Every structure is written in structure tokens, then in C-alpha cells.
A and B are shown apart, each in its own frame.
Chain A
Amino acid sequence: MQKFLASALARGLAWQLGGWLVGAGMVTGIRLLMGLSPLGLFFFTEPAWVFGGFLGVLAFVAGSRIVDDWTKWAKGEQIPDHRDDPPGWGKYIGVSLDHKVIGIQYTITSLLLLVVGGSFALVFRTELSRSGMQFLSLQWYNTLMSLHGIGMIIGILLGVAGVMNYLVPMLIGAQDMAFPRLNAFSFWIAVPAVVLLLSSLALGGFDTGWTGYPPLSARGPVGTQMFFLGVFTAGWSSILGGLNLIATTLRLRARGMTAFRMPILVWAALATSLITLTATQLIGLSFQLVVFQRLFGMGFFDPAKGGNPVLFQHLFWFYSHPAVYVFVLPGLGVISELLPVFVRKPLYGYRWIAMSSLGIALVGFLVWAHHMFASGMNSYLQVPFMYSTLLVAVPTGVKFFSWVATVWKGKIDMPTPMLFVLGGIVVFLLGGLSGPPNATVATDLHLTDTYFIVGHFHDTIFGGYVFPFFAAIYYWFPKATGRRMDEKLGKLHFWLMTPSFLTLTLLMMRVGLLGMRRRIADYDPALGFDGYHLLMTIAGYLIALSVAIFLFNLFRSIKRGEKAEGNLWNSRSPEWQVSSPMPAHNFDEPIEVVGEPYDYGLAGSQYTRFVQAAQNKDLHS
């Protein structure tokens, strides 16, 4: 307990609360002096909550002492290159500079947030199981629906960051990230962001959906502001994390690892990071403009003042469409990374796969307005955006061809990670095939804002992120702990989740085609959707059960899992050539790359070797 109270986490949270109250108090005091009403609906007024929330984030940073080294640097003091972590679990709630610890911190935070966001879905899914309002008010329905969306999105972003942080330095044979302190900062800034986001529950909620379109978001309750502020803060985590990954990949690769000898996951991380580094600024800006519109009456999106609500949608989707590629590209990278290991064959079309990640990321910058076909934007924009969107199918198709060709005539091994890889491919295919009808203007005008979109979206994200994420955890868990997760429970998890999930999304698409609107709390019983919705709700609960089994398996295996210290999956990747759990500085002997990464099954081929061992061999020969 004492260890917890003294940790960076506990101190940061306490300071955040303090900073919040001080900031809110300051604004309230100023309002009193100016003769404005000092108190509002939720005790403090909206400006007080917003300024307090902002100050709270700064206070978290100060209280958790994540910037201590930088202040020392500014004072002209010497700072060490490395800091060793204390033994035990304490390092996971303290400031660590080790990318492996930070990766696990990200992953745990992500899982927590995904569980919270997922349970919100269960609550409103229960409400939807029958027509008519059962137990939720309209405002609560909207709030839970909105928070499910943004909670899952931030959760996935943190999960993506976790996977990339943990793996990229290992996969390129580096000791750590290029900027370890910035890496720690990127993780820790996400913690106050999550607190801000969830605080909207207590401040009237927000009923705009995660997209936060004005004019609705310009007049909702104070909770809307907390949502904006939370996402804005979390954005910094994404931006700085992306910066770090790009610099790491470009500067710290092992000797001999040329661009086309990098693991596919590293290519995917690079493509992802290009998006998070640049586009994230635009969602931050768009949210900031709404915050200012609410606080100072600046009429960016207010037609009465000459503003333009559609401008918000352009700025917002410029990030928020590429954001889905941020979710899926690392997942697709995991699929390409694991497939050759379990079919014992070379990855088919390595260069094409590497380039397709970059291709998706770059084309992804040019497709945003396909979310706005029904928004009243200029109609001449519709056709170009339709074609650019359809173009995304080309590099994505390249990936599918490669996966099919890789599996073709392979000797397939089916442990749990491989099940999730194959499940991910199938589900992502469904998501991909249901995409083009939304991209073509004529069909989209019928489908937009229906449950068809909801089904399509969940298919892409489960196939592109959730399944590969689970595969990655089952696969690399031994690398982090030296033990493996239980196979039986893993298989139960998969066989419970996959059919339930397919039932859920296929029914979503079905009711969507029949005219079920998305984001609404109730539907007309005469539409005859009651039975479908009941089935979807049951499927939702089964998914939750399977995730509960996964979490049980995860936490049990940390201490009680079967020992697995060697190269468990018989992989060629550098991180499996050293012991598990990974040594503190990854590779005590530097490695160098001497061959192709995915030449599985080719006799005598080698990907990496230790520089030291190679030199000794040269001496003896």
C-alpha cells in the first residue's frame, strides 16, 4: 500500500485532483471579482471546470515527476543516460525509461480502458434488446454510447502504442527507443487524459457521439468539454509516441538491417507513426476550436457569425479517418509477422507487403470526406473522394493475396496465436468487403448513419485490431514473463468469441440494411427488430464472457503459467534468439542482420547473428 501511495501514479493523480480544484477555484474567484455568477449547474461554472481540467493535467505532470530530468537539463545539470528500474511490480506504476516496461504500462492501461468502454456497450446493448425505453434515460444512453466510442478509440490507440513500444526496439535489435524520456512522457500524459475523459460521466455526460459535431457539441453539458480536453491531451501521447518510433526506426536499426530487411511489423509501425505524428494535430485543433467557441463565443462553426459547421467535419475527419488505419496497420503487421512462423514458409511478396502499409497510410490522407457525403459539403468533392476511398482496397488487397499465398500448401500449426491470426483475416475480410458500398456515393446515401456502418466498422476494427492484438498477447506473453498462457483457455476464448462476434456484426449489417438507424436509443416495435436485437445482446454478453476468460488466463499465467524460456515458437526474429523474459537492455551482445527476415523452411538461411559470436568464429576459422 505504501509502495502504491509513493508511486508516480498515485502522486500524479493526487496532484491532478489538487490542480483541478485550484484551477477551478481561481476562475471562480476571478468571476466573483468581475461580478459574474460564480457557480454553475455542476457547482463550478464551465470555464472553471475547463481551466481546472487543463491545470490538473499540468499538475499531474509536475506531481508524477516525469519531467524532472528535463528541468535538471534546463538548469544545466548533468543527467544520466539510463536509470535502472527497481525490482518487482513497483516499476510498472513508477516512471521507467525502459521501453519494455512502458510497453506493458500502455498495454495494461489499454486493457483497463477497453474493459470500461466495453462494459458501457453491454449496458446500452441491454437497453436495446427490447424496443421501448427500459432503464436508461435518453441522456444516459447517449453518454454511454459516446463514451463507448471514444473510450474504445483511446483504448485501442494506447494498445497500439503498447504493442509498438514493446516490440519495435526488439525487432530492430536496438537497446531502447531513440528518446526514452519522451517515451515515458508519452505514456504518462495519457493517464490524466483518461481521467479527464471519464470525468465527463459525472459532469452531465456528453450526447454528441464520439465525433463531437457542432452545433450540438457547442451547447451540450460540461461533460462535452471534458471529452474534448481528454482527447486533446491523449493526442499528445499519440503524436510524441509516433515521433519517437519514427526516429527509433530510422536511427537505431541493427547493422545490416536495410529497409527491405526490416520486419513487416516495423514497416507497419512506421506507416502508423507517420499518421499519428501529423494528422493527430488536426483533431486536436478541431476540438480546441469548439472548446474556444464555447468559452469565448468565437464563432468558427456558428453560421450566425459567419462560421461553417462543415469546416469542423473536414478538420475532424482529416485525422479521424486515417485514425482507423492507425488501429489496423499494426494489427495487419502482426498478422504478416506471425503467419510465416506458423506455416513454416517464407512470407509471400515481402516488398509488396512492406510498401502496402505505407500505401494505405498515404492514400488514407486523401479519403476523409467520404464520411461527409450526406453533410451538405460541395458536391463536386463527392466523386474524387469516392475514387480515392476505393483506391484503399488496392494495397489492402495486396495484403490478402500475400496472406493467402503464404498459407497456400503450408504445414500449418494451430496454437492459440495462430487461431487469432486466421480469425482476424476472416473478420477483416468481412469488414473489407462491406466497405466499398459505403464508399460509393449512390449506396452510401442509403447506408449512411445506419447499423450497416456499425457492423462494417466493428468488423474492420476487430479483424484489424482486436484479433491480432489478442494474437500478439498470446504470442509475446512468454517474451515478457518467461511463462506461456494456458492453451485450453486460449482456445475456449477464441471459439467463444468468434462465432458470437460474427453473429453480432452480421445482424448489425442486416438490421442496418432494413433501416435501423445508428446511435438512437429506441426503435419502433413495428419494424420487427426486437428478435435481432435480443440475439445481438446475447452475442455481446458472450463476447464479454470470452474476454473475461482471457483476462483470467492472462493474470493467472503471470505467476502460474507453464515455463517457456527459450524460442517457444521457433521464430527467426531477433527477440527470440535471447532468453525470456527479455534481458534489461535487450541485447547484451549486439546483433547484425545477415539474411532475409521470413525465409522460413529454407535450409541454411539465417536472419540475424550475434556480432561477438561471429567474430569469434572468424578468428577460429
Chain B
Amino acid sequence: MVTVSISEAEAELTVDERAGLELVRESGGIHQSDFWKELDVSSRKGSRIVESLVEKELVDREDTVYDGHNTYYITPTARDLDFTLLMAGDMLSPFIGEEEVDPNSDAFSQWIMNLAYQE
């Protein structure tokens, strides 16, 4: 398998695809029926843009019912998330690598202290 980096995939987008990707990222999630209206393109073109972004793994798409119609809900991929929200100061979430989440653990107290007094 050849791994194409995401930034490479992004660099090859058309102007419309780039605008579509930005729209999905800014909205945090949008129905396909709103997507093409917002982009001011035809529904056919809208669905081609989404198709291409899904294929390049730049957005996720799932079936949904919206206003009584079957449509898709398009969301940014996990890659677009801000992972720094797992950090408090220079400490990573203490639940990583742990099976159980204990909200009263000493490690989590330390994390919260960092959050309150280091940021």
C-alpha cells in the first residue's frame, strides 16, 4: 500500500473541492442538501465534490434522514481535530494507555491543576 500524505492529497484539490472542504471544516458537519446550496453549485456537482473528498479521505460521510429526506451528513475527519485539547500544560491526558477512566485519580488531579495554573 502506498501511503499518500494528506497534505499531498489536499494540494491536488480543485478550487471547488477546496471550498467544499473548508465548508465542512468550518461547519464541523453539514448535510449534503445544505452543502451544495451553501457552495452555490448544482446538487449533482455538489455530490461529485463530496464523492471526491470522501475518496481522498478528507471528509467522512454517513447516511441520515434530514427534513424527511434521505441524505448524507458530511463531517471533517479525525485528522482535523485539535489534539492539543488533550494537553494541560505539557501533560497529556492521563487516561491514554489506561483501560479504565478514573475521574478522581491523582494523575487526573495533577492534570487539572496544570490546566488551572499553567495555561
Is this pair of chains taken from one and the same complex?
no
* B residues at A contact (CB < 8 Å): none
